[in-house]
Amino acid sequence: MTVLSHPEFDGHELVEFVTDRRSGLVAIIAIHSTVLGPAGGGIRFFPYASEMDAVTDVLRLSKAMTNKMAMGEVPLGGGKSVILGDPRTDKTEALLEAYGDAVEALGGRYICGEDMGMTPDDMEVVARRTDHARGTASGSGDTSPLTAHTVFLSIRAAVRHRLGTGLDGIRVAVQGAGAVGSKLVAKLADAGAAVLVADVDPGAASRTGAEVVGIDEVLAADVDVLAPCAMGGVLSASTIPTIRASIVCGAANNQLATPADAERLRAADVLYVPDYVANIGGVYSAVIDRKGADVARVKADAVEGRVIELLERAEAEGTSPAAAADRRVAEILAAARG
């Protein structure tokens, strides 16, 4: 299978494979669209089981970034990059600098940021070699607090729309206790929600202070809201029938295994807030770097109203929120193309 024949290929403008023998860098940079501006998207450093898994992920993630930028009213296009390897053992300054050289060679067409397996300090190393790095320790820093904030606001909007209530007493299951998931747990608990949490690292789950459940149990937990905050593809033909929550809203990218799963959720009477609408906060954090002013919080606070508007539109159209969001993205891109 070639990239052009890959089922996740969606007219991507660029898919570049990057290697550096000296540092051991193996990476893929994908630019899905620059219609709205230079492509923006994070760097995922992950030990993929195969090169094809990495290609699949970077194609899906870069397209999702186009959607995220459009729905978030950010003047950027969609891109993403993946570094193949284990960040705990393979990450070196030489490797990150080589990656920065690859980004710089694109001449500003792609702006990279922090994602899974990367930290603000890592972004400082990347920024030694390119002017097109965001999320650095000396810049906007950790993007997870604002990501957790917009997911929290999205959950609150969905609960109000579906259940007609606030978060006090609502039961929420959070899958993933990483940088974003752990902060989301804290915000939900502060709002009075009863929170369950699961993580592949039981210690990380325990440190949140929430009730810990098994990683194999969390999707089917008896809760009002399920918040996927780990890897994507967890909502599928096999898992959706087990979901007992009436709302799914989380931080993980590409939660749907296939586009058809949005309709499966709707048929199961589960209200799904598209991930690229809910987790926009990380992108807004990078706006601080780019504009030199803290406009990110103001933009993040507007997400709650945007989610309510989207859910009302989907209801009026008799469709899933994912389909309604995709249509809105198409409208925005068509208008930008003129």
* Residue 208 CB neighbours (<10 A): 20
Interhelix angle 144-163/179-190, rounded to 10 degrees, is 50
d(CA 108, CA 6) in angstroms, rounded, equals 27
pTM: 0.90
- Predicted local distance difference test score (pLDDT) of residue 288: 57
Which stretches of the chain score pLDDT less than 70? 287-296
Identify each DSSP E strand in 34-76 by its residue range.
Answer: 39-46
- Asked if 72 contacts 55 with a C-beta cutoff of 8 angstroms, the reply is no
d(CA 270, CA 227) in angstroms, rounded, equals 13
Task: Determine whether 183 is an active site residue.
Answer: no
The helix/strand/coil state of 309 is helix
pLDDT in tens, 65-89: 999 999 998 999 999 999 999 999 9
- Predicted local distance difference test score (pLDDT) of residue 292: 45
- Asked if 108 contacts 78 with a C-beta cutoff of 8 angstroms, the reply is no
Kindly write down the DSSP assignment for every residue of 258-307, as one continuous string.
STHHHHHHHHTT-EE--HHHHTTHHHHHHHHHHHSS--HHHHHHTHHHHH
Structure tokens at 214: 């098994």
Kindly write down the DSSP assignment for every residue of 180-235, as one continuous string.
HHHHHHHHHHHTT-EEEEE-SSHHHHHHT-SEE--TTTGGG-S-SEEEE-SSS--B
Of 80, 183, 187, 299, catalytic: 80
- Predicted local distance difference test score (pLDDT) of residue 305: 96
Residue 80 gets which letter from DSSP? E
> Domains along the chain?
14-66+76-127 (3.40.50.10860), 144-333 (3.40.50.720)
Show Cβ contacts of residue 249 under 8 Å, excluding neighbours closer than 6 positions: 151, 154, 155, 158, 225, 226, 227, 272, 273, 278
Give the count of alpha carbons within 13 A of 18, CB side only: 25
Structure tokens at 192: 């009075």
